[in-house]
Amino acid sequence: MLEVRDLRVGYGAAPALWDVNINVAGGELVCVVGPNGAGKTTLINALAGLNRATSGSIRLGGQDITRLASHLFCQAGIAIVPESRRLFTSMTVMENLELGSFLPGPRSHRARTLEQVCTLFPPVREKLNMPAGSLSGGQQQMVAIGRALMAQPKLLLLDEPSLGLAPSIVMDMFDAIRRINADGLSVLLVEQNVSMAMNLASRAYVLEEGRIVMEGDAKDLLQSPEVQKAYLGLD
């Protein structure tokens, strides 16, 4: 599904990602973990066309999308739930969801996808006509995920969906992501919440200072001494 080869991304002259290689198979849930400033957001934004690759390649379902214009990534099948959500806060929840399905393909299935989103996140149904900015953090996160689902992507990118949420809501959020993936959608999840992300994912990558330093089966990685020590504070 997704094949990232030797991806290098920088801000100005300084690279923030060095030759990153990542794969996500069809229907797989893969997570990328790493400390603050490791380059997780840089990576996920590059996959959504928000950052441009300096070198390397991004392929989605066999199609090379590395050099596509930013607004064509969505058409190729990628939808992003960006860091800190970035909803269109002055617009209503409904309008945010409609914008997720702006392209003609998803637009023609809008009513059905909207129903699926509301079934997945019941609180969203109650808030459709409210300005998105007036919702609680958890509800805004639901709308952000809903907006991405409205695009009917082949690959869903999630950048720290648990950030700033109360622990009980984090559980709900991870459960929703599990159900989205169980419906067959490929998911790439970036998280600082290492144990929860690795329990959910089938495979995991550890990103540090712009480089992939570990990768493998998520359950194995979670048990590895390096991860236990560096990310879970266990000896």
Partner 1 sequence: MTLPSLNLLAQSILSGIFLGGMYGLIGLGLGLSWGLLRQINLAHFGYVFLSGYLCYQMTQYWGMDPLLALLILPPIFFGIGVVQQWALARFRITPFNSLLVTFGLTVMIESLIQWIWTADFRKMQTHYNELKFSVGGIFVPIPELFTLLLAVGLAFAIWAAMRFTDLGKAMRAMAEDAPIAAAFGINERGLSLLLSGLCVALAAVAGICFAVIFTLTPTQIFSWVGVVFAAVMLGGLGSALGPLVAGIIIGVSEAIAMVLFAPSWAPIVSFSLLIMMLLFRPGRA
Binding region for ligand ATP (CB under 6 A): 11, 16, 34, 36-42, 83, 192
Which of the stretches 56-64, 96-104, 214-222, 227-235 binds partner 1 when contact is defined by CB under 8 A?
A: 96-104
Are 7 and 39 within 8 A, CB to CB?
Answer: no
The answer to whether residue 134 forms part of the interface with partner 1 (CB under 8 A) is no
The answer to whether residue 41 forms part of the interface with Mg ion (CB under 5 A) is yes
The answer to whether residue 51 forms part of the interface with Mg ion (CB under 5 A) is no
The answer to whether residue 1 forms part of the interface with partner 1 (CB under 8 A) is no
Three-state SS at 192 = coil
Binds 36: which of partner 1, ligand ATP, Mg ion, none (CB < 5-8 Å by kind): ligand ATP
The answer to whether residue 103 forms part of the interface with partner 1 (CB under 8 A) is yes
The answer to whether residue 193 forms part of the interface with Mg ion (CB under 5 A) is no
The Cα 17–Cα 7 span in angstroms is: 7
Pick the binder of partner 1 from 23, 66, 88, 211 (CB under 8 A).
88
Binds 5: which of Mg ion, ligand ATP, partner 1, none (CB < 5-8 Å by kind): none
User: What 8-state DSSP symbol labels residue 39?
Assistant: S
Is the C-alpha dihedral spanning 216, 220, 224, 227 positive or negative? positive
Task: Give the residue at shortest CB distance from Mg ion.
Answer: 41
Are 117 and 180 within 8 A, CB to CB?
Answer: no
Binds 193: which of partner 1, ligand ATP, Mg ion, none (CB < 5-8 Å by kind): none
What residue ranges in the chain does DSSP mark as E strands?
2-11, 14-24, 29-33, 55-60, 63-64, 78-81, 155-159, 186-191, 203-208, 211-217
The answer to whether residue 86 forms part of the interface with partner 1 (CB under 8 A) is yes
The amino acid at 195: S
**Which residue, 121, 166, 171, is CA-closest to 148?**
121
Which of the stretches 9-17, 34-42, 85-93, 180-188 binds partner 1 when contact is defined by CB under 8 A?
A: 85-93
The values of phi and psi at residue 26, to 5°, are -60, 130
Binds 100: which of partner 1, Mg ion, ligand ATP, none (CB < 5-8 Å by kind): partner 1
177-212 core/surface letters (b: 16 or more CB in 10 A; e: else) = beebbeeebbbbbbbbbbebbbebbbbbbbbeebeb
Within 8 A by CB and 6+ apart from 94, the residues are: 128, 129
Site string for partner 1, 107-126 (x = CB under 8 A): x-------------------
Output 60 or 157, the one with its CB closest to Mg ion.
Answer: 157
Binding site for Mg ion (CB under 5 A): 40-41, 83
Binding site for partner 1 (CB under 8 A): 48-50, 69-75, 79-80, 82, 86, 88-91, 95, 98-100, 102-103, 107, 147, 151
